[in-house]
């Protein structure tokens, strides 16, 4: 029996739908409620705490390095001070409660208790077996956390592992391409698939002046034109970045196999669509303006 070959974009597509479910908690009122009960109320502090907690009580430098596209000064306003309010362990417990509440609200009890959810959790965890820790700090930190027993939380945990595995590799590729954190966001926004400048300013700490300066540097490199659109060279660079990220992230999906990846993508797409339909994300989150 011949095993079907994994198509070049299969891993990227699979990870995209898994990441959609992972990301729901960042925009969920449940997260603010749970972290608020732990004493963390500022939205930026909440964001830094929930994503960095797996690393332990690290300082601003470690968080800025691992997150890459946040302005250091914004990070330093909240880290490491946030760990004086709640320990990483307390933050992780609050995050787990928030994720549980968010998925129950967005997907509904029927989906959470379904055979499809249990199957998706098994497939995603199977793929994550082939992830590697080397030079991947956020993935490695999350890989040390226990796998939840409930299928929907196990699915979310595996989606998180696969997201951070790809993300850590992506940052290495961005550095190799000579794009700093803000330049990477400007070029991603120019594709129409990244966050709007409004959301970049509100969540990453950058100003319009910072954005304009990064845009100027990218124009000098021939990556953006006078209107802020990607040039042919810019389009090519963004595709090279994604292809190299795919290469560094190929092992989990080869491990799962083409049939398993196709099935996980099918299941994950259904969950992601259900979350989207339930209003999981702001309408103005993505786009060029």
pLDDT at position 1? 36
- For residue 252, CA distances in Å to 33, 208, 245, 255 come to 34, 39, 13, 5
pLDDT at position 3? 60
pLDDT digits (tens, 9 = 90+) for 222-241: 999 999 999 999 999 999 99
- For residue 79, CA distances in Å to 72, 82, 199, 210, 273 come to 10, 6, 21, 22, 34
C-alpha angle with apex 166: 236 to 51, nearest 5 degrees?
125
- For residue 250, CA distances in Å to 32, 211, 253, 256 come to 35, 33, 6, 10
Cα distance between residue 21 and residue 52, in whole Å: 19
pLDDT at position 48? 98
Cα distance between residue 252 and residue 166, in whole Å: 10
Strand partners, 224: 230
Q: H/E element holding 78? A: helix 72-78
Read off the tokens for 153: 């939380």
pLDDT at position 118? 98
Instruction: Name the nearest CA neighbour of 85 among 63, 53, 117, 116.
Output: 53
Cα distance between residue 41 and residue 135, in whole Å: 32
pLDDT at position 213? 98
Q: H/E element holding 246? A: helix 232-248
Stretches in the chain below the pLDDT threshold 50: 1-2
pLDDT digits (tens, 9 = 90+) for 27-46: 999 999 999 999 999 999 99
């Amino acid at each position: 029996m011949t095993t079907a070959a994994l198509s070049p974009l299969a891993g990227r597509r699979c990870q995209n739908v898994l990441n959609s479910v992972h990301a729901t908690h960042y925009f969920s009122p449940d997260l603010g409620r749970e972290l608020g009960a732990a004493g963390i109320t500022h939205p930026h502090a909440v964001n830094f705490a929930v994503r960095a907690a797996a690393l332990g009580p690290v300082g601003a430098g470690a968080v800025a390095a691992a997150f890459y596209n946040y302005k250091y000064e914004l990070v330093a306003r909240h880290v490491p001070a946030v760990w004086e309010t709640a320990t990483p362990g307390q933050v992780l417990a609050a995050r787990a409660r928030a994720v549980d509440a968010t998925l129950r609200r967005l997907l509904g009890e029927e989906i959470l208790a379904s055979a499809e959810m249990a199957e998706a959790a098994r497939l995603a965890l199977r793929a994550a077996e082939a992830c590697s820790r080397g030079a991947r700090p956020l993935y490695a930190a999350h890989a040390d956390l226990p796998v939840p027993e409930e299928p929907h939380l196990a699915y979310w945990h595996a989606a998180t592992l696969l997201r951070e595995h790809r993300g850590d590799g992506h940052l290495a590729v961005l550095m190799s391409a000579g794009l700093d954190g803000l330049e990477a966001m400007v070029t991603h926004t120019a594709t129409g698939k990244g966050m709007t400048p409004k959301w970049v300013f509100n969540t990453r700490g950058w100003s319009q002046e910072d954005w304009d300066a990064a845009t100027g540097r990218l124009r000098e490199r021939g990556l953006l034109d006078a209107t802020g659109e990607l040039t042919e060279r810019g389009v090519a660079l963004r595709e090279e970045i994604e292809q190299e990220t795919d290469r560094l992230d190929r092992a989990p999906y080869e491990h799962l196999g083409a049939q398993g990846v196709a099935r996980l993508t099918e299941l994950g797409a259904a969950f992601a669509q259900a979350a989207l339909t339930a209003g999981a994300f702001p309408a103005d989150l993505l786009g060029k303006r």
